Chain A
Amino acid sequence: MSGTFLGMPSFPRNAAAAVQDSQLRFNLRKATHTIRDRRLSVVGELPDWAELRQAGKAIKDHTLRHLDTYLLQMEEAVTRAGGKVHWAADAAEANRIVTGLVKATGETSVVKVKSMATQEIELNEALAEEGITAYETDLAELIVQLGDDFPSHILVPAIHRNRSEIREIFLSKMAEWGKPAPASLTDEPRALAEAARLHLRERFLSTKVAVSGANFMIAETGTLVVLESEGNGRMCLTLPETLISVVGIEKLLPRWQDLEVFLQLLPRSSTGERMNPYTSSWTGATEGQEFHLVLVDNGRTQVLADEVGRQALRCIRCSACLNVCPVYERAGGHAYGSVYPGPIGAILTPQLRGMGSELDRSLPYASSLCGACFDACPVAIDIPEVLVHLRSRARHARAERLGMRAAGWVFGKPGRLARAQRMGSRFRRLVPRRLPGPLGGWTDTREIPDIPAQSFRDWWEQTDGGRR
């Protein structure tokens, strides 16, 4: 499938390049504005949206507080229902487990349901190294895979592509992966969907192993839940003889009843539908299938340890925050250098991966802190709060640290501030339009405010607040 995000430059540099791409900006603007209106109208239909949101938030917080207990309950319930549970501390271990399970079946190909967890651990690449081909079956994932591209959105990984680009990719690449696209293919969305149907039908009927993620896991019953639209998920969950589900440990809900909250929150926030076309749930080995559940940590327990940052684990991957974000709309998903782009990515990626790289340190700044993401979030993740928290944790540039230390010294005593202000006033004619060195980035897009001839404090003292 697509390449890797490793080694990408920082967000500002990626974004500066992306905003030059007018086709990308047009595609993103059109798509995000379409979905915004739809979400608002279906959310507005529910008189109890605020109560559902509060319940969703509290259920997730409660689950995270007792995650150890609920994971053990889940393991027991799945095992009782004939499934097998595996635990993976990191991506490498998860990939080893899945590769081993596929090899044990003797198969060399798997069909995949769209899953963020398997993208995060780069499972397709790991399988390919062992000679196993992973076929993506979600339409947008298929577009990304055929185009040898990166995902740029959580829900619609090919959101950066418009219909005519998709047609081109189908015409030139489908033949390499299986059934070719019909030569007469138009760029009508209906025709493109039909081409995907024909391309994958034979694959669904013949492939023996499927890999999925899950939107929710229910601890008390051991049930997994997958929401989808196209029916590719149902194909993968139903037809193959072996099903391997790779799920992040934070996807748990304690009780079956809790779904009544999340099955209302997720579709309305995600695709702006009252209900997505298909939702499948199953418990353990079903209808003669062999079932494996791989529970993945891969940095989640590290996020859980951060008092402010742990709320990011409430995320149900709806992507409403991406669709309302002014920064995402202009910069696009690739600039974030992670499978989790947009506002949620800006707080999740640096916490999952750590802030070792320049890119990951820059992500908490990929926001104007306008707060639209917080308003849209169905589980009330205060994304701006976490962004600010992470900014304070990131190591800052030397010039910035020195500047801040100097400013702190000046502001520390009133006398120092007064002297600095008088100095500024005296030399105010000498202030350049563009500041030197790294400070130039600031003045490139802003005017330096005029320094008055006299500071307010001096004026007050001299005139007794204007009375003299």
Chain B
Amino acid sequence: MTADTPAAGSRELILSRIRAAVANAPETEIPRGYRRTRSQEGLAELLADRLDDYRATVHVVPAAQVAATVGRVLKERGVGRLVVPDGVPEEWSRAAAGEGGSQIVRDDPPLSAEELNAVDGVLTGCAVAIAETGTIVLDAGPGQGRRALTLLPDYHLCLVRIDQVAGILPEAIGRLDPARPLTWIAGPSATSDIELNRVEGVHGPRNLEVIIIDG
């Protein structure tokens, strides 16, 4: 069947039911008395603290030490094959391949889901981060790649520049473009489904490591 025929009638039916139902309903003013911004002080520390709270591994380093840190953490983890999307600074992938000892995999031509599943880790930047909630947002833009890249590999190394960090959630919403596919990440994959206790590590990457570039 095609869904068009019955849906056309139902569309009008639903809309007319709504109009009849709310005909005498009152109008509502929306009070927006909640916080819209937060002071910019201590954002790196707050973000690091909140990410750590949800079992991400966090490093706060100055720009001059980023490459060395990337190399060191990849070497310590022994990440063999690392997918690096287009737009990641050359310096980072050189460090990953050099000191980190990882074999760099490119998503060009696009990797199949199976190929991506066989990769050990992924290295990306981000679009925005939110300090208060310990959240990183990816928008599939440069240095982040399509959504599956940060989903199938078991390890995600994410680099966040301090100017990308918003204090609280309302500030981040204003910086994001809803037309892009967004992925908000707060710690590694987890579940609360067994006795309502939080356990890390289900379908997404079980290890999230974040380098915050501050100064």
User: 8 Å CB contacts to B: which residues of A235-288?
Assistant: 235, 237-239, 249, 256-257, 259-261, 263-264, 271, 273-283, 286-287
Cross-chain contact B146 with A230 (CB below 8 angstroms): no
Cross-chain contact A264 with B189 (CB below 8 angstroms): no
Report how far A221 CA is from B180 CA in the complex, Å: 11
Say whether A315 faces chain B, with CB atoms less than 8 Å apart: no
Report how far A196 CA is from B202 CA in the complex, Å: 7
Smallest Cβ distance from A128 to chain B, in angstroms? 18
Smallest Cβ distance from A25 to chain B, in angstroms? 14
User: 8 Å CB contacts to B: which residues of A19-59?
Assistant: 27, 30-32, 34-35, 47-48, 51-52, 54-55, 58-59
Smallest Cβ distance from A99 to chain B, in angstroms? 9
Known interface pairs A35-B196, A139-B194; A234-B35 also in contact (CB < 8 Å) = no
User: 8 Å CB contacts to A: which residues of B1-29?
Assistant: 1-3, 6-7, 10-11, 13-15, 17-22, 25-29
Report how far A307 CA is from B196 CA in the complex, Å: 36
Smallest Cβ distance from B133 to chain A, in angstroms? 4
Task: Name the interface size band of chain A.
Answer: 35 or more
Picked from B19, B130, B173, B190, the residue with its CB within 8 Å of the CB of A256 is: B173
Cross-chain contact A286 with B194 (CB below 8 angstroms): no
Say whether B77 faces chain A, with CB atoms less than 8 Å apart: no
- Residues in A neighbouring B194, C-beta threshold 8 A: 139, 163, 166, 189, 192-193
> Could you show 23 A-B contacts with beta carbons less than 8 Å apart?
A48-B35, A55-B30, A55-B32, A62-B27, A68-B18, A87-B10, A100-B1, A139-B202, A166-B194, A189-B197, A221-B178, A229-B189, A231-B205, A234-B204, A235-B203, A239-B148, A257-B170, A259-B173, A260-B169, A277-B54, A277-B186, A301-B18, A304-B22
What 6 additional pairs, Cβ within 8 angstroms, besides A71-B14, A301-B21? A51-B31, A58-B29, A68-B15, A68-B22, A193-B199, A256-B173
Report, nearest first, the 10 A-B pairs whose CB atoms are least far apart.
Answer: A231-B204, A231-B203, A301-B17, A230-B202, A279-B184, A305-B21, A275-B186, A260-B170, A140-B193, A304-B21
Residues on B lying within 8 angstroms of A by beta carbon are 1-3, 6-7, 10-11, 13-15, 17-22, 25-35, 50, 53-54, 113-114, 117, 130, 132-135, 140, 146-148, 151, 169-170, 173-174, 178-205
